[in-house]
Structure 1
Amino acid sequence: MQMLMWVSRRFAAVVAICLWGQAALSDVAVLSIDSQTEGWLNRTTTVTIALDGAIPFRVSTPQDGRVAVTLNGADPHSQPAFHPDTVINRYNLSGAQEGAVISLEAQRMLTLQTASMTNSGGAARLILTFAAGSRLSRSPHDTPTRGATALPLVVLDPGHGGIDPGAVRLDIAEKDIALAFGRELRAVLQDSGRFDVRMTRDTDVFVTLRDRVRFARESGAAVFISLHANTVTRGNASGSAIYTLSEGASSAEAAALAELENRADTLGGVDLGVEDDDLALLLTDMAQRETNARSAMLARATVEAMRHAVGVIRSNPHRSAGFRVLKAPDIPSMLIELGFLSDATDRANMISPRWRAHAAQGILAALDDWVERDGVLSAQVRPAPARVAGANGD
């Protein structure tokens, strides 16, 4: 009898200790969830979960952009501070038999690389690193629509054409480089399943600058990309550069290039004798200022992505000037100079399908990143723009 009582008391003590331990674990609060992504073509996403104590955890294999983090003994009623980024932008905290489960929703396919728990002075951090892969397609239920489609419309504008060859070197014409690259870039963007694409020209025809802008606006473009090559007659220059609209020029070279490109309409008999007085007016408009900021963000993304994709980028690669073809006040726009026909290496690159394929992948990566970042800022895919009188380069 004494032995039975001793065993009973010992069992009760063990049960009490287990219950106390479970209660102690259940007091562990989830303090914050922070997501940060670095890189362009090879993105790494780091998720840091701050806790007020170290506890066992389990991370599920990511499925469809959703990651489940099970925290044994965590308080499911915690209200953590959440710091999203362009890859992980939503979370859900729910109860489970073990304690709590944090479900993270990602915009890209994630592959778990490392998982570790640190503990210092009673404060713990669970650090998860993921390789962030291709962007996930959203369902129509989750994605705001743009007219009849949920995909952002990219208007590609191969420069020059027809009677306007653009820059020419060794029988290689800018208009042909721009059209070939435009067609290949269109295929890359469409094959991604994340963009609709239209082109201002798909054959060797002349299109005025104002008609290019008008086409983009009437199509309801989400972004406008004009494709060009460059050349110099004196000195040496090489590498790609990205240009956006500004009232003044970022450099004398940018101003000269804008003046040269803006002369294209004279070949089609367009009267350019009257200065674009509306440019200064447009730049003071709130919509234009917002569009310029969004264009600059797109240009920066493209510079970094192209740097990783092809490596050859000019010094100060993001430049600006008063390009007529970038004047749509409500469409983020940029002009890409792929390289210099006057430079032997650039010329070989631009006629190389392999190099152009790498460049196209870089632009796709930039557009992916920009759409995510712009989506965070504007909270929705923007509707097709209303027509603004005098905004088509007229």
Structure 2
Amino acid sequence: MRPLVIAIDAGHGGQDPGARGANGSREKNITLQIARELARQVNATPGLKAYLTRDTDVFIPLTRRYQLAREHKADLFVSIHADSFTSPEASGSSVFVLSQRGASSQAARWLAKQENEADLVGGVRLQDKDDTLASVLLDLSQSATQKASESMADQVLGGLKRLGKTHKNHIERANFVVLRSPDVPSMLVETAFISNPAEERKLNDPGHQSQLARAILDGVTSYFTRQPPPGTLYAARADAAGGAYGGGSP
């Protein structure tokens, strides 16, 4: 049985420090600490395997981040960030998925020949297909990926709600570059507001970092328990339980 690969992306890094907290915390350091803790918990979970896009203080271009997830055959891509706002009162965590507008603009790029040359999308090579067929295949792949992204993000937001305050009561949509993979379900988690002094203190607390990682992981495992991809431990468990959840990953 193959492990489910969770690609964990620590936002910012290197010459890109991200947001700065009132007490001088740098987003790039906090995101790396949380990403490492999440990877530790993922690797301690039977049936799951973590892949970190960065494990040191280095800069990685945004498009390269989701490309790395695809190259490592990730089943999920989670980008970790810390929010910031002009008012120190803004608070709470958020979970984002790609907007429909972002998905359609990326589809146009994927259909440009030079971007297709060496790429499989959803396990299908687009280069040797005519434009109409390639467009249909890409649309099918994106629709399934978007649906899975939203379902997983909803589960992760539920985990974060159990931990504490969320900024909004629902998942949000934005055209983040790192979320543009056409065949890897992707989400971006704003763990808290680094610009809020009380939340900045929490973000630097290893105990809270561990709780954040657990909340994200709980959402991920909850989704895969309900939608177990074939050939994985989660699918074997569902079969052993008599198919209680119904299998098949989008």
Q: What TM-score comes out, normalization by structure 2 length?
A: 0.77
CA RMSD of aligned residues (A): 2.3
- Which of 298, 303, 311 is the aligned partner of 2:164? 311
Matched, 1:176 2:29: yes
Which amino acid is the alignment partner of residue 203 of structure 1? T
Q: Which residue of 1 aligns with 2:188?
A: 335
- Which of 132, 136, 142 is the aligned partner of 1:288? 142
Q: Which residue of 2 aligns with 1:278?
A: 108
Cα contact 2:88–2:197 (8 A) shared by 1 = no
Q: 2:141 is paired with a residue of what secondary structure?
A: helix
Which has more radius of gyration?
1
Deviation at 1:180, TM superposition (A): 0.5
Which amino acid is the alignment partner of residue 303 of structure 1? L
1:195-240: per-residue Cα shift (whole Å, max 9, x none)? 1011100000000011111100010000000000011114631010
Cα contact 1:247–1:279 (8 A) shared by 2 = no
Deviation at 1:311, TM superposition (A): 1.2
Deviation at 1:372, TM superposition (A): 1.4
Which amino acid is the alignment partner of residue 17 of structure 2? P
For structure 1, the residue ranges without an aligned partner over 5 or more in a row are: 1-144, 250-274, 383-394
Q: 1:288 is paired with a residue of what secondary structure?
A: helix
Q: Which residue of 2 aligns with 1:213?
A: 66
Cα contact 2:88–2:196 (8 A) shared by 1 = no
Bigger share in strand: 1
Q: Structure 1 residues 352, 279: closer, same or farther in 2, change over 3 A?
A: farther
Bigger share in helix: 2
Q: What TM-score comes out, normalization by structure 1 length?
A: 0.49
- Which of 373, 376, 379 is the aligned partner of 2:248? 379
Q: Which residue of 2 aligns with 1:58?
A: none
Q: Which residue of 2 aligns with 1:134?
A: none
1:56-76: per-residue Cα shift (whole Å, max 9, x none)? xxxxxxxxxxxxxxxxxxxxx
1:81-107: per-residue Cα shift (whole Å, max 9, x none)? xxxxxxxxxxxxxxxxxxxxxxxxxxx
- Which of 154, 157, 170 is the aligned partner of 1:300? 154
For structure 2, the residue ranges without an aligned partner over 5 or more in a row are: 112-134, 229-244
Cα contact 2:87–2:195 (8 A) shared by 1 = no
Deviation at 1:354, TM superposition (A): 1.0
Cα contact 1:294–1:374 (8 A) shared by 2 = no
**Aligned equivalents of 1:277, 1:362: Cα separation in 2:** 32
Deviation at 1:174, TM superposition (A): 0.6
Deviation at 1:333, TM superposition (A): 0.5
| 1:85-234 alignment, distance < 5 Å | 145=1, 150-169=2-21, 170-234=23-87
Tell me which of the two structures has the higher relative contact order, counting C-alpha pairs closer than 8 angstroms and 6 or more residues apart: 2
**Aligned equivalents of 1:285, 1:302: Cα separation in 2:** 25
**Aligned equivalents of 1:279, 1:378: Cα separation in 2:** 32
Deviation at 1:315, TM superposition (A): 2.2
Matched, 1:241 2:104: no
Q: How many residues align?
A: 207
Cα contact 1:247–1:280 (8 A) shared by 2 = no
Q: Structure 1 residues 298, 213: closer, same or farther in 2, change over 3 A?
A: same
Cα contact 2:17–2:27 (8 A) shared by 1 = yes
Q: Which residue of 2 aligns with 1:350?
A: 203
Q: Structure 1 residues 347, 317: closer, same or farther in 2, change over 3 A?
A: farther
Q: Structure 1 residues 378, 333: closer, same or farther in 2, change over 3 A?
A: farther
Cα contact 1:240–1:317 (8 A) shared by 2 = no
Cα contact 2:88–2:195 (8 A) shared by 1 = no
**Aligned equivalents of 1:296, 1:280: Cα separation in 2:** 22
Q: Structure 1 residues 364, 163: closer, same or farther in 2, change over 3 A?
A: same
